[in-house]
Amino acid sequence: MARYFFSIRSGDRLIPDQEGIDLPASADLDACAVYLARKLRQDLGLPESDLGNLTVEVTDTGGELVTRVAVTG
């Protein structure tokens, strides 16, 4: 298991993930990032079109960028 942080970027604004989540090394981090963004949109009641400018930046415990996923509706 490894801890990953899924921060949300919208333009120049970054909403950092302060807690992170433990996932197996074999986890599909891109799929997790897309799920997170869509769930957030749903929880906030935003239209699908609002996903167009979101990017999820996944980092490890050392702060190194593991993947960046542009989320579309």
Spatial separation of the C-alpha atoms in residues 22 and 30, rounded to whole Å: 15
Identify the top-confidence range among 9-13, 44-48, 53-57, 61-65.
Answer: 61-65
Cβ contacts of residue 40 below 8 Å, gap of 6+?
Answer: 8
- Residue-level pLDDT at 4: 96
- The mean pLDDT value of the chain amounts to 85
Q: Where are the beta strands (DSSP E) in the chain?
A: 2-10, 13-15, 21-23, 54-60, 65-71
User: Does pTM top 0.75 for this prediction?
Assistant: yes
Spatial separation of the C-alpha atoms in residues 54 and 50, rounded to whole Å: 8
Confidence of residue 63 (pLDDT cuts 50, 70, 90): very high
